């Protein structure tokens, strides 16, 4: 938890961006896994964490925009809880830790909101993403679950995104610090990339490292020798010499900040010539993008610049053909690079995606490009100092996609399908770093970059 005054400042900044009414931010509750008392590991709502700091279930935070009155609704534990959970601080004590002077039992929230409603006051709430909070909001506000998303306050959504997008010095220091764990996770995975090892052994080791540092993984580990499947969560394969193993994994810290990196290792310790050639193109796209990242530039333009590096590299290898600029304009690179260059990162690995990706990654000036591949770009708008983003270009040989484009002659003037077919079974390569926008440019988060050159990776794997 940060200092109380930081949470107070954040709430003050929030209300200065809201015209009037009541701001309601619900925390999360425990969710049953297999029976009510057997719950998943608790994960607090990120906006509640950001503004109210308490990492415990069943709290709600309310701010009266006009009066400035702030209240936490939540219950003190009783003797039965103490027997099973041990002594816990009172809600009053918890509230003081985050600068809140007033607390009330949770069941008083309904009366509070009913009174505000009867006075004709606007109640601002965020779009709920968990079933439990959807049901609660339906009860509290008499809005049907199916209408909650549309009824959520766009004013509040935009105000929260404006604040959470720009990381403060405490968040940046914390993010820098937790990159050490990401380093340990990925270098450990590289060292395990040996013939005979099952993917699940590496996935388990990575997750264990995250747990051993008091956090967890920031999303289910993506790890596979079938890297052509972008989000491959099946870890049942046994690695063989010559395979490429892709590891896309992140740490979620004790304060719930995320890391997100991808590295690719050659099983056995040596990239083949063919693997190395594709790897170097992806690395050039990553490094090329990093050089361009600075405030005032749109991430959409950097996505397209990295697509151009990929198209140029593939043309040089004879996999693509024709004019590179025309190929990128037509979206031909997307058969190999069918996703976006990156996303915002912070308290969520895809930061604030629950609030609506369109508001996080785009604005009135920069709209999404509706073309296969580029349409998946989550972050397109102009970059600002203290944004944290990922940079993750990739090249994949996806048999079903190649087959579809060949059969339907999609962008056939830019793709040499005969040559591409020699790469069926190659898998995929993605190289991802976490980047902080500075006042004049950008820098990688963390003390040192996770090994990424061919030589560095081969050395570690060996
Ligand atoms: N690294 C996983 C993702 O960005 O979806």
CA of residue 258 to ligand 1 center, whole Å: 11
pLDDT value of position 233: 85
How much is the pTM?
Answer: 0.96
**What distance in Å separates the CA atoms of residue 434 and residue 226, rounded to the nearest whole number?**
23
Closest ligand 1 atom, residue 260 Cα: 1
The dihedral over CA atoms of 308, 312, 314, 317, expressed in degrees to the nearest 10, equals -170
Q: Is the dihedral of CA 375, 377, 378, 381 positive or negative?
A: negative
Reduced to 3 states, what is the DSSP secondary structure of residue 193? coil
Ligand 1 atom nearest to CA at 390: 4
Q: What is the pLDDT of residues 245-294, one digit of tens each?
A: 999 999 999 999 999 999 999 999 999 999 999 999 999 999 999 999 99
Nearest CA to ligand 1 atom 4: 350
Å from CA of 24 to ligand 1 middle: 30
Residues with CB under 6 Å of ligand 1 are: 219, 248, 260, 343
Token duo for residue 72: 């936490």
Q: What top-level class would CATH report for the domain 169-461?
A: alpha beta
Most informative mutation of 349, 430, 434 for ligand 1 (most atoms within 8 A of CB) = 349
Q: How far is the CA of 59 from the centre of ligand 1 (A)?
A: 29
Question: Two tokens at 348?
Answer: 């969520």
Extract the runs of DSSP E, i.e. beta strands, from 355-449.
388-391, 394-396, 428-430, 433-437, 442-444
Low-confidence spans in the chain with pLDDT less than 70: none
Distance from residue 379's CA to the centre of ligand 1 (Å): 13
Instruction: Give phi and psi for 167, each to the nearest 5.
Output: -75, 140
Any residues with CB less than 8 A from the CB of 43 and at least 6 apart, and which? 28, 256
Closest ligand 1 atom number to CA of residue 432: 1
**Chain region(s) in the chain for CATH 3.90.230.10:** 169-461
217 CA → ligand 1 middle, Å: 12
* Distance from residue 196's CA to the centre of ligand 1 (Å): 27
CATH architecture of 4-165: 3-Layer(aba) Sandwich (3.40)
Q: What pLDDT does residue 188 have?
A: 98
């Amino acid at each position: 938890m940060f200092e109380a005054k930081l949470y107070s400042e954040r709430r003050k900044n929030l209300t200065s961006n809201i015209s009037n009414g009541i701001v309601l931010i619900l925390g999360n509750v425990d969710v049953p896994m297999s029976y009510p008392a057997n719950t998943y590991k608790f994960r607090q709502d990120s906006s509640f964490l950001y503004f109210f700091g308490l990492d415990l279930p069943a709290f709600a935070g309310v701010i009266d925009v006009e009066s400035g009155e702030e209240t936490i609704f939540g219950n003190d534990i009783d003797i039965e809880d103490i027997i099973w959970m041990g002594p816990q601080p009172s809600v009053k004590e918890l509230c003081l830790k985050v600068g809140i002077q007033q607390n009330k039992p949770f069941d008083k929230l309904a009366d509070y909101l009913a009174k505000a409603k009867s006075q004709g006051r606007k109640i601002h709430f965020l779009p709920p993403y968990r079933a439990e909070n959807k049901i609660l909001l339906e009860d509290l506000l008499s809005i049907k679950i199916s209408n909650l998303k549309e009824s959520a306050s766009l004013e509040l959504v935009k105000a929260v995104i404006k604040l959470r997008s720009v990381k403060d010095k405490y968040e940046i220091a914390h993010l820098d610090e937790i990159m050490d764990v990401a380093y340990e996770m990925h270098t450990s995975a590289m060292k395990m990339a040996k013939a005979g090892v099952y993917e699940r052994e590496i996935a388990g080791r990575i997750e264990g490292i995250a747990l051993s540092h008091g956090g967890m993984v920031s999303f289910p580990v993506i790890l596979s020798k079938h890297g052509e499947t972008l989000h491959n969560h099946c870890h049942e394969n046994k690695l063989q010499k010559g395979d490429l193993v892709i590891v896309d994994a992140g740490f979620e810290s004790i304060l719930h900040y995320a890391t997100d990196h991808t590295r690719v290792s050659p099983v056995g310790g040596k990239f083949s010539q063919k693997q190395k050639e594709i790897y170097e193109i992806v690395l050039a796209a990553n490094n090329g993008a990093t050089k361009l990242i600075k405030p005032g530039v749109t991430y959409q333009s950097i996505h397209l610049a990295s697509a151009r590096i990929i198209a140029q590299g593939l043309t040089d290898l004879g996999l693509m053909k024709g004019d590179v600029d025309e190929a990128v304009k037509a979206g031909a690179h997307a058969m190999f690079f069918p996703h976006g260059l990156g996303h915002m990162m912070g308290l969520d690995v895809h930061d604030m995606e629950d609030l609506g990706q369109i508001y996080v990654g785009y604005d009135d000036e920069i709209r999404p490009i509706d073309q296969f591949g580029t349409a998946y770009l989550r972050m397109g708008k102009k970059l600002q100092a203290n944004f944290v983003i990922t940079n993750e270009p990739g090249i994949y040989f996806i048999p079903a996609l190649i087959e579809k484009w060949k059969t339907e002659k999609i962008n056939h003037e830019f793709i040499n399908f005969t040559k591409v077919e020699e790469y069926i079974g190659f898998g995929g390569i993605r190289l991802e770093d976490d980047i902080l926008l500075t006042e004049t440019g950008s820098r990688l988060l963390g003390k040192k970059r996770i090994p990424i050159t061919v030589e560095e990776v081969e050395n570690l794997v060996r």
